[in-house]
Amino acid sequence: MFNTRFKSHHDVKDVITSKVKRKISLPFKYWSLLNKDPIDIDGGIYVHTPYCDKICSFCNMNRKQLDNDLENYTNYLVKEINKYKFKNYIQKKRFSVVFFGGGTPTIFKPHQLEKILKALRETFILAENFEFTFETTLHNLTWEKLEVMKKYGVNRLSIGIQTFSDRGRKLLNRTYDQKWVKNRIKELRTKFEGLVCIDIIYNYLDQTEEEVINDAKIAGELSPDSISFYSLMIHEGSKISKDLNTGEKTFDYQLERDRKLHDIFLNTIEKEGYNILEHTKVSKGTDSYRYIKNVHQLKDLIPIGVGAGGRVSNIEMFNLNKIVTFYATDSPLSTKLKKLSGATQYEFVSYESIKNIVGDHFDEIFKLLKDLEKEEYIILFDDKYQYTRKGTFWGNNISAILVEKLFELEK
């Protein structure tokens, strides 16, 4: 049924954007909205730091090598946070998720983290049981920084490990070897009581099945609360992409090999007590990844920092740089498509959640689900469906064809 694999929910978003063109909005509509009362008091905050002290070889995202002490960017973030301080909409919200992404947010010095986090906590009122995540590398996260983060409520760490293989770490331009990484995570566990989550990449250049199994087994031994696992995505502009283009490195990507390594990782990590949470994440049950659930449900997400994207109500925005922000308004159709994409990212998908989005089109959508069951992508139950192992591998493609079907029905 599928020839090209969608490896991320961002691929599904690209499908939606190709179907429903964005309607450009204006800044005053966004800021005037913040003077009103919110319909939903729940929401999230996303803070972006587009800097790293070392760029991974697979990365082409909104980040660059650090070449200053970040004092200017620290002051910029504080200024951006303070813009929201006295907005009626913001003061009546109770933010259940905060996410510091990058880049490497822990690249800041302790006193800079103090300034940023102090401003954030003075501006935004967090919900009683909030999730507060920092992405980090192990070598950037000093114990002094960790104490500052804990002081202001950080209770979840997302650590970019990518692989425990020494050969793989060198290829991906990761810092330190397996032994150091394992010891550092164990030490971190003694100093941090919150959730510790890691990222793993599989099917990188010349990765062996043994390396995949070892990554899963070592991850299981270290027992993080959740593990995101992604097939290597090679983007134009990354070091690996340039090496492939010049012939310095070679990579014969094969779809069946990708699926085999995907299944090996999942089969191995499930034996370590993990269950699928969404297409590219497994959890021990302690991490529910509330941030991404809010994003999938199109809840408000306040974007702060260069490269940050978010939304308030039906207005999306993206901070291109310190001066320019793009604003766009979601139509009712694009809202439905995005919600359907989000609802179908999890291992189990209730029919009720689909009905709430597609309404009278559910019978037609269900016919497509029956076709997917015949192809062994999903298993239908009385009130929900479940992705098979094959379906998990193709999960984002399945989300995409459901979105495309709804688009056809709504036209």
Q: Give domain status of residue 46, yes or no.
A: yes
Judge contact between 20 and 340, C-beta under 8 A: no
CB-side exposure of 96: number of CA atoms within 13 Å? 15
Residues 158 and 197 sit within 8 Å (Cβ to Cβ): yes
- Confidence band for 207, pLDDT divided at 50, 70 and 90: very high
Mean pLDDT of 354-372: 99
Beta-strand ranges (E) seen in 234-355 are 275-278, 281-283, 301-304, 309-312, 315-319, 325-329, 348-350
In one-letter notation, the amino acid at residue 146 is L
Q: Tell me what pLDDT residue 402 has.
A: 99
| Residue 183 one-letter amino acid | N
The answer to whether 242 and 236 are in contact (CB under 8 A) is: no
135 vs 242 pLDDT, higher one: 135
> What pLDDT sits at residue 238?
78
> Does pLDDT of 62 surpass 80?
no
Same domain, residue pair 85 and 136: yes
107 with 250, same domain: the answer is yes
Of 7, 25, 33, 38, the C-alpha closest to 201 is 7
Boundary of a domain, candidates 296, 323, 355:
296
Distances (CA, A) of 201 to 64, 212, 281: 21, 9, 12
Domain boundary among 275, 296, 317: 296
228 or 242, higher pLDDT:
228
Q: Are 290 and 399 members of one domain? A: no
Quick check: 219 pLDDT over 70? yes
Residues counted in the chain: 411
- When pLDDT is averaged across residues 275-287 and rounded to a whole number, the result is 98
CA neighbor of 377 nearest in space, from 354, 347, 338: 347
Min mean pLDDT across 58-62, 300-304, 337-341 is at 58-62
For position 386, which CATH number holds? 1.10.10.920
pLDDT of 251 strictly over 90 = no
Are residues 372 and 386 in contact, defined by beta-carbon separation less than 8 angstroms? no
Cα angle: 111, vertex 160, 400; to 5 degrees = 120
Q: Are residues 335 and 283 in the same domain?
A: no
Residue 53: predicted pLDDT: 85
291 shares a domain with 335: no
State how far the Cα of 309 lies from the Cα of 320, in Å rounded to an integer: 9
Q: What percent of the chain has pLDDT over 90?
A: 89
Q: How far apart are CA 334 and CA 22, in angstroms?
A: 9
Q: Which of 36, 41, 31, 37 is nearest to 83 (CA)?
A: 31
Span 170-197, pLDDT tens digits? 999 888 999 999 999 999 999 999 999 9
- Averaged pLDDT score across all residues of the chain: 95
58 occurs within a structural domain: yes
Regarding beta strands 384-387 and 348-350, do their DSSP bridges make them parallel or antiparallel, or are they unpaired? antiparallel
Q: With a cut of 90, say whether residue 236 has pLDDT above it.
A: no
Average of pLDDT values for 45-62? 78
CA distance 192 to 194: 6
- Give the lowest-confidence range in 50-64, 153-167, 196-210, 269-283: 50-64
The total number of structural domains that make up the chain: 2
The reported pLDDT for the residue numbered 60 is 59
Whether 320 maps to a domain, the answer reads no
Burial 255-270 (b: 16+ CB within 10 A, else e): eeebbebbebbbebbe
What distance in Å separates the CA atoms of residue 309 and residue 350, rounded to the nearest whole number? Answer: 29
In a domain, 207, yes or no: yes
In order, the DSSP letters of 197-214 are EEEEEES-TT--HHHHHH
pLDDT at 231 > cutoff 70: yes
Using pLDDT thresholds of 50, 70 and 90, give the confidence band for residue 270. very high
Q: Is residue 67 part of a domain?
A: yes
Assess contact for 162 and 126: CB atoms under 8 A. Answer: no
pLDDT digits (tens, 9 = 90+) for 13-33: 999 999 998 899 999 999 999
User: Among 67-71, 259-263, 373-377, where is mean pLDDT lowest?
Assistant: 67-71
Q: Where are the beta strands (DSSP E) in 5-49?
A: 23-24, 42-49
List, in sequence order, the alpha helices (H) in 133-177: 143-151, 166-171
Q: Does 209 score more than 80 pLDDT?
A: yes
Peptide bond into 395 cis (omega under 30): no
Report angle CA 5, 329, 364 to the nearest 5 degrees.
Answer: 50
pLDDT score, position 246: 86
Domain boundary among 271, 296, 321: 296
Domain that holds residue 143: 21-296
Residue 16 within any structural domain of the chain? no
> Are the CB atoms for 19 and 407 separated by under 8 Å?
yes
Which residues lie closer than 8 Å to 407 by C-beta, 6 or more apart?
Answer: 19, 20, 333, 337
Find residue 99's DSSP bridge partners.
Answer: 46, 133
Q: What is the mean pLDDT of residues 46-51?
A: 96
Least confident of 239-248, 260-269, 356-365: 239-248
End-to-end CA distance of the chain: 24
Per-residue pLDDT averaged across 276-288, rounded?
A: 98
Task: Supply the pLDDT for residue 247.
Answer: 86
Q: State the pLDDT confidence band at 64, using cuts at 50, 70 and 90.
A: low
CATH number at residue 69: 3.80.30.20
Q: Are residues 292 and 343 in the same domain?
A: no
Burial class (CB in 10 A: 0-12, 13-18, 19+), 87: middle
The answer as to whether 304 is a domain residue is no
Global pTM value: 0.95
How far apart CA 411 and CA 398 sit, in angstroms, is: 20
